Amino acid sequence: MQNIPVITVDGPSGAGKGTLCLKLSSTLRWHLLDSGAIYRVLALAALHHDIPLDDVNALVPLASGLDVSFESVNGTTKIVLEGEDVTFDIRNENVGAVASTIAAIPPVREALLRRQRSFAMSPGLVADGRDMGTVVFDNADLKFYLTASAEVRAERRFIELKEKGHDVKISRLLTDIKARDDRDINRSNAPLKAADDAIIIDSSTLDAVQVFDIAMKEVLDRRLV
Ligand code: DC
Protein backbone atom coordinates (compact mmCIF):
# COMPACT_ATOMS: atom_id res chain seq x y z
CA MET A 1 0.00 0.00 0.00
CA GLN A 2 2.89 2.35 0.84
CA ASN A 3 4.05 2.94 -2.74
CA ILE A 4 0.65 3.31 -4.34
CA PRO A 5 -0.41 6.95 -4.63
CA VAL A 6 -3.74 7.59 -2.91
CA ILE A 7 -6.06 10.60 -3.04
CA THR A 8 -8.81 10.67 -0.43
CA VAL A 9 -12.08 12.58 -0.63
CA ASP A 10 -14.15 12.70 2.56
CA GLY A 11 -17.21 14.71 3.44
CA PRO A 12 -20.90 14.56 4.27
CA SER A 13 -23.60 12.94 2.21
CA GLY A 14 -24.43 14.81 -1.00
CA ALA A 15 -21.41 17.13 -1.06
CA GLY A 16 -20.41 15.91 -4.53
CA LYS A 17 -17.74 13.40 -3.53
CA GLY A 18 -18.99 10.74 -5.92
CA THR A 19 -18.90 13.07 -8.93
CA LEU A 20 -15.46 14.42 -8.04
CA CYS A 21 -13.99 10.97 -7.40
CA LEU A 22 -15.36 9.58 -10.65
CA LYS A 23 -13.89 12.49 -12.62
CA LEU A 24 -10.54 12.26 -10.85
CA SER A 25 -10.26 8.49 -11.25
CA SER A 26 -11.26 8.53 -14.92
CA THR A 27 -8.95 11.47 -15.74
CA LEU A 28 -5.98 9.93 -13.91
CA ARG A 29 -6.97 6.38 -14.94
CA TRP A 30 -6.66 5.34 -11.29
CA HIS A 31 -8.78 2.88 -9.36
CA LEU A 32 -11.83 4.11 -7.48
CA LEU A 33 -13.05 3.06 -4.04
CA ASP A 34 -16.63 4.03 -3.20
CA SER A 35 -16.47 3.04 0.46
CA GLY A 36 -20.04 4.22 1.09
CA ALA A 37 -21.19 1.59 -1.41
CA ILE A 38 -19.53 -1.09 0.72
CA TYR A 39 -21.41 0.10 3.83
CA ARG A 40 -24.60 0.27 1.76
CA VAL A 41 -24.11 -3.28 0.44
CA LEU A 42 -23.58 -4.48 4.00
CA ALA A 43 -26.78 -2.67 5.04
CA LEU A 44 -28.72 -4.33 2.24
CA ALA A 45 -27.30 -7.75 3.15
CA ALA A 46 -28.36 -7.20 6.78
CA LEU A 47 -31.87 -6.27 5.63
CA HIS A 48 -32.05 -9.31 3.30
CA HIS A 49 -30.96 -11.64 6.10
CA ASP A 50 -33.28 -9.97 8.69
CA ILE A 51 -30.35 -9.18 10.96
CA PRO A 52 -31.24 -6.68 13.71
CA LEU A 53 -29.14 -3.52 13.30
CA ASP A 54 -27.65 -3.85 16.78
CA ASP A 55 -26.74 -7.54 16.49
CA VAL A 56 -22.96 -7.10 16.39
CA ASN A 57 -22.32 -10.86 16.59
CA ALA A 58 -24.18 -11.37 13.33
CA LEU A 59 -23.09 -8.13 11.58
CA VAL A 60 -19.34 -8.62 12.01
CA PRO A 61 -19.12 -12.02 10.25
CA LEU A 62 -21.49 -10.69 7.58
CA ALA A 63 -19.10 -7.75 7.04
CA SER A 64 -15.92 -9.86 6.95
CA GLY A 65 -17.38 -12.42 4.58
CA LEU A 66 -19.44 -10.01 2.47
CA ASP A 67 -19.93 -11.60 -0.95
CA VAL A 68 -19.74 -8.42 -3.04
CA SER A 69 -18.06 -7.58 -6.33
CA PHE A 70 -17.59 -4.32 -8.20
CA GLU A 71 -17.61 -4.89 -11.95
CA SER A 72 -16.73 -2.25 -14.54
CA VAL A 73 -19.36 -2.17 -17.27
CA ASN A 74 -19.07 0.50 -20.02
CA GLY A 75 -17.53 3.08 -17.71
CA THR A 76 -20.01 2.47 -14.88
CA THR A 77 -19.71 0.18 -11.88
CA LYS A 78 -22.08 -2.74 -11.45
CA ILE A 79 -22.35 -3.85 -7.81
CA VAL A 80 -23.21 -7.48 -7.22
CA LEU A 81 -24.22 -8.85 -3.79
CA GLU A 82 -24.54 -12.62 -3.39
CA GLY A 83 -24.98 -12.96 -7.16
CA GLU A 84 -27.65 -10.25 -7.42
CA ASP A 85 -27.20 -6.86 -9.15
CA VAL A 86 -27.86 -4.32 -6.35
CA THR A 87 -26.47 -1.21 -8.10
CA PHE A 88 -29.87 0.52 -7.99
CA ASP A 89 -31.20 -0.86 -4.69
CA ILE A 90 -28.28 0.33 -2.55
CA ARG A 91 -28.95 3.98 -3.48
CA ASN A 92 -32.31 3.94 -1.71
CA GLU A 93 -32.46 6.47 1.18
CA ASN A 94 -33.49 3.81 3.69
CA VAL A 95 -30.43 1.74 2.80
CA GLY A 96 -28.29 4.87 3.31
CA ALA A 97 -29.79 5.39 6.76
CA VAL A 98 -29.23 1.74 7.72
CA ALA A 99 -25.65 1.96 6.38
CA SER A 100 -24.99 4.98 8.57
CA THR A 101 -26.45 3.17 11.62
CA ILE A 102 -24.35 0.03 11.27
CA ALA A 103 -21.29 2.08 10.26
CA ALA A 104 -21.31 3.49 13.80
CA ILE A 105 -20.41 0.04 15.23
CA PRO A 106 -16.58 -0.11 15.68
CA PRO A 107 -16.09 -3.89 15.03
CA VAL A 108 -18.13 -3.56 11.81
CA ARG A 109 -15.77 -0.80 10.61
CA GLU A 110 -12.79 -2.90 11.63
CA ALA A 111 -14.13 -5.87 9.65
CA LEU A 112 -14.30 -3.73 6.48
CA LEU A 113 -10.84 -2.16 6.78
CA ARG A 114 -8.80 -4.75 4.91
CA ARG A 115 -11.32 -4.94 2.08
CA GLN A 116 -11.16 -1.17 1.60
CA ARG A 117 -7.35 -1.09 1.71
CA SER A 118 -7.17 -3.82 -0.93
CA PHE A 119 -8.45 -1.27 -3.48
CA ALA A 120 -5.05 0.50 -3.37
CA MET A 121 -3.51 -0.87 -6.55
CA SER A 122 -1.19 0.49 -9.22
CA PRO A 123 -1.23 3.06 -10.77
CA GLY A 124 -3.17 4.77 -7.93
CA LEU A 125 -6.41 5.06 -6.00
CA VAL A 126 -9.05 7.70 -5.48
CA ALA A 127 -10.96 6.86 -2.28
CA ASP A 128 -14.39 8.30 -1.50
CA GLY A 129 -15.88 8.18 2.00
CA ARG A 130 -16.05 9.56 5.53
CA ASP A 131 -12.80 8.32 7.08
CA MET A 132 -10.57 7.74 4.06
CA GLY A 133 -8.03 10.42 4.99
CA THR A 134 -8.33 10.03 8.76
CA VAL A 135 -8.29 6.22 9.18
CA VAL A 136 -8.29 3.94 6.14
CA PHE A 137 -5.58 5.77 4.15
CA ASP A 138 -4.17 8.11 6.78
CA ASN A 139 -0.88 8.22 4.82
CA ALA A 140 -2.60 9.37 1.62
CA ASP A 141 -0.62 11.66 -0.68
CA LEU A 142 -3.44 14.15 -1.06
CA LYS A 143 -6.57 14.58 1.04
CA PHE A 144 -9.69 16.56 0.31
CA TYR A 145 -12.65 17.31 2.54
CA LEU A 146 -15.58 18.27 0.35
CA THR A 147 -18.57 19.88 2.00
CA ALA A 148 -21.66 22.01 1.22
CA SER A 149 -24.65 23.35 3.17
CA ALA A 150 -27.33 20.78 4.10
CA GLU A 151 -29.91 22.66 1.94
CA VAL A 152 -27.71 22.56 -1.16
CA ARG A 153 -26.94 18.89 -0.58
CA ALA A 154 -30.63 18.00 -0.17
CA GLU A 155 -31.46 19.78 -3.41
CA ARG A 156 -28.67 17.98 -5.30
CA ARG A 157 -29.73 14.62 -3.88
CA PHE A 158 -33.33 15.36 -4.89
CA ILE A 159 -32.36 16.01 -8.52
CA GLU A 160 -30.07 12.96 -8.62
CA LEU A 161 -32.66 10.58 -7.15
CA LYS A 162 -35.48 11.91 -9.34
CA GLU A 163 -33.31 11.36 -12.43
CA LYS A 164 -32.73 7.78 -11.30
CA GLY A 165 -36.47 7.24 -10.95
CA HIS A 166 -36.74 7.26 -7.14
CA ASP A 167 -39.87 8.81 -5.61
CA VAL A 168 -38.63 11.38 -3.04
CA LYS A 169 -39.63 14.61 -1.26
CA ILE A 170 -37.08 17.39 -0.72
CA SER A 171 -38.23 18.19 2.86
CA ARG A 172 -37.79 14.55 3.80
CA LEU A 173 -34.35 14.46 2.16
CA LEU A 174 -33.24 17.51 4.17
CA THR A 175 -34.39 15.91 7.44
CA ASP A 176 -32.64 12.65 6.50
CA ILE A 177 -29.42 14.42 5.50
CA LYS A 178 -29.30 16.29 8.82
CA ALA A 179 -29.95 13.07 10.76
CA ARG A 180 -27.26 11.25 8.79
CA ASP A 181 -24.75 14.10 9.33
CA ASP A 182 -25.51 13.97 13.01
CA ARG A 183 -24.89 10.20 13.19
CA ASP A 184 -21.76 10.28 11.00
CA ILE A 185 -20.20 13.26 12.82
CA ASN A 186 -21.02 12.25 16.38
CA ARG A 187 -20.12 8.55 16.37
CA SER A 188 -17.14 7.78 18.58
CA ASN A 189 -15.28 5.56 16.09
CA ALA A 190 -13.88 7.14 12.90
CA PRO A 191 -16.33 10.05 12.92
CA LEU A 192 -16.80 12.21 9.84
CA LYS A 193 -14.25 15.01 10.08
CA ALA A 194 -11.58 16.62 7.96
CA ALA A 195 -8.09 15.18 8.38
CA ASP A 196 -5.68 17.78 9.80
CA ASP A 197 -3.83 17.83 6.48
CA ALA A 198 -6.94 17.84 4.26
CA ILE A 199 -7.70 20.60 1.78
CA ILE A 200 -11.23 21.80 2.51
CA ILE A 201 -13.47 22.60 -0.46
CA ASP A 202 -16.92 24.09 0.19
CA SER A 203 -18.94 23.30 -2.93
CA SER A 204 -22.11 25.21 -1.87
CA THR A 205 -21.60 27.79 -4.61
CA LEU A 206 -19.44 25.76 -6.97
CA ASP A 207 -20.47 23.46 -9.79
CA ALA A 208 -18.89 20.06 -10.43
CA VAL A 209 -16.44 21.42 -13.02
CA GLN A 210 -15.17 24.13 -10.66
CA VAL A 211 -14.69 21.60 -7.86
CA PHE A 212 -12.82 19.27 -10.21
CA ASP A 213 -10.57 22.11 -11.43
CA ILE A 214 -9.63 23.05 -7.85
CA ALA A 215 -8.85 19.42 -6.99
CA MET A 216 -6.96 18.72 -10.21
CA LYS A 217 -4.76 21.79 -9.68
CA GLU A 218 -3.69 20.33 -6.31
CA VAL A 219 -2.96 16.95 -7.96
CA LEU A 220 -0.77 18.62 -10.58
CA ASP A 221 0.94 20.94 -8.06
CA ARG A 222 1.97 17.88 -6.06
CA ARG A 223 3.21 16.11 -9.21
CA LEU A 224 1.17 13.02 -8.40
CA VAL A 225 0.94 12.23 -12.12
O1 DC B 1 -21.38 7.92 1.02
P2 DC B 1 -22.70 7.18 1.23
O3 DC B 1 -23.84 8.11 1.44
O4 DC B 1 -22.96 6.18 0.15
O5 DC B 1 -22.49 6.36 2.60
C6 DC B 1 -23.54 5.70 3.26
C7 DC B 1 -23.25 5.64 4.76
O8 DC B 1 -22.15 4.77 5.01
C9 DC B 1 -22.85 6.96 5.40
O10 DC B 1 -23.96 7.69 5.91
C11 DC B 1 -21.96 6.56 6.53
C12 DC B 1 -21.36 5.27 6.08
N13 DC B 1 -19.97 5.42 5.64
C14 DC B 1 -19.01 5.42 6.61
O15 DC B 1 -19.33 5.36 7.79
N16 DC B 1 -17.70 5.46 6.26
C17 DC B 1 -17.34 5.56 4.98
N18 DC B 1 -16.05 5.60 4.67
C19 DC B 1 -18.32 5.62 3.97
C20 DC B 1 -19.64 5.55 4.33
What is the C-alpha end-to-end distance of the chain, expressed in Å?
A: 17
At residue 165, the pLDDT reads 87
If one counts the domains in the chain, the total is: 1
Peptide bond into 107 cis (omega under 30): no
Residues with CB under 6 A from ligand 1: 13, 35-36, 39-40, 96, 99-100, 103, 129-131, 180, 184
The residues, any chain, with a CB within 8 Å of residue 179's CB and separated by 6 or more, are 97
Contact of 125 with 4, CB cutoff 8 Å: yes
The pick from 100, 108, 109 for probing ligand 1's pocket by mutation, whose C-beta has the most ligand atoms within 8 angstroms, reads 100
Report the pLDDT averaged over residues 144-155.
97
CA distances from 112 to 55, 127, 196 (A): 16, 14, 23
Which residue's CA lies nearest to atom 5 of ligand 1? 36
Q: Is residue 224 in a domain?
A: no
What is the distance in A from the centroid of ligand 1 to the CA of 74?
A: 25
Q: Pick from 130, 146, 176, 185 the residue to mutate for probing ligand 1's pocket: most ligand atoms within 8 Å of its CB.
A: 130
By three-state DSSP, how is residue 58 classified? helix
Whether residue 221 is contained in a domain is answered as no
Q: What is the 3-state secondary structure (H, E, C) of 165-190?
A: CCCCCHHHHHHHHHHHHHHHHHCCCC
Contact at 8 Å (CB) between 47 and 184? no
Residue 1 confidence class, pLDDT cut points 50, 70, 90: very low
Q: Measuring CA to CA, which residue among 74, 68, 78 is closest to residue 26?
A: 74
In a domain, 149, yes or no: yes
Residue 164 confidence (pLDDT) above 80: yes
58-93 tens-digit pLDDT: 999 999 999 999 998 887 899 999 999 999 999 988
Asked if residue 222 belongs to a domain, the reply is no
Q: In a mutational test of the pocket of ligand 1, which residue from 6, 20, 35, 193 has the highest number of ligand atoms less than 8 Å from its CB?
A: 35
Instruction: Examine the pLDDT at 170 and tell me if it is beyond 70.
Output: yes
pLDDT above 90 covers a percentage of the chain that reads: 88
Question: Given this model, what pLDDT does residue 2 score?
Answer: 54
pTM: 0.93
Amino acid identity, position 110: E
Structural domain contains residue 26: yes
Q: Which residues, other chains included, contact 18 with Cβ-Cβ below 8 Å and sequence gap of 6+?
A: 34, 128
How many of the other CB atoms lie within 10 Å of CB of 88?
11
Average pLDDT over residues 180-202: 94
153 in any annotated domain = yes
pLDDT of residue 141 exceeding 90: yes
Mean pLDDT of 39-45: 98
Q: Is residue 211 part of a domain?
A: yes
Helix (H) or strand (E) holding 77: strand 76-81
Q: What pLDDT shows up at residue 167?
A: 87
Question: Residue 157 sits in a domain of what CATH number?
Answer: 3.40.50.300
Helices (H) and strands (E) in the chain, counts: 8, 8
Confidence grade of residue 210 (pLDDT, cut at 50, 70, 90): very high
Asked if residue 137 lies in contact with residue 144, where contact means CB atoms within 8 angstroms, the answer is no
| Res 215 pLDDT > 50 | yes
Neighbour-count burial of 157, counting CB atoms closer than 10 A to its CB (0-12 exposed, 13-18 middle, 19+ buried): buried
Classify residue 225: in a domain, yes or no: no
Give me the phi and psi of 212, to 5 degrees please.
-60, -40
Query: For residue 204, what pLDDT is reported?
Result: 96
CA-based radius of gyration for the chain: 17
**Would you call 89 helix, strand, or coil by DSSP?**
helix
Band the pLDDT of 160: cuts 50, 70, 90: confident
Domain containing 14 equals 6-216
Q: Give the tens place of pLDDT for each residue, 91-138.
A: 988 999 999 999 999 999 999 999 999 999 999 999 999 999 999 999
- Rounded average pLDDT over 192-205: 96
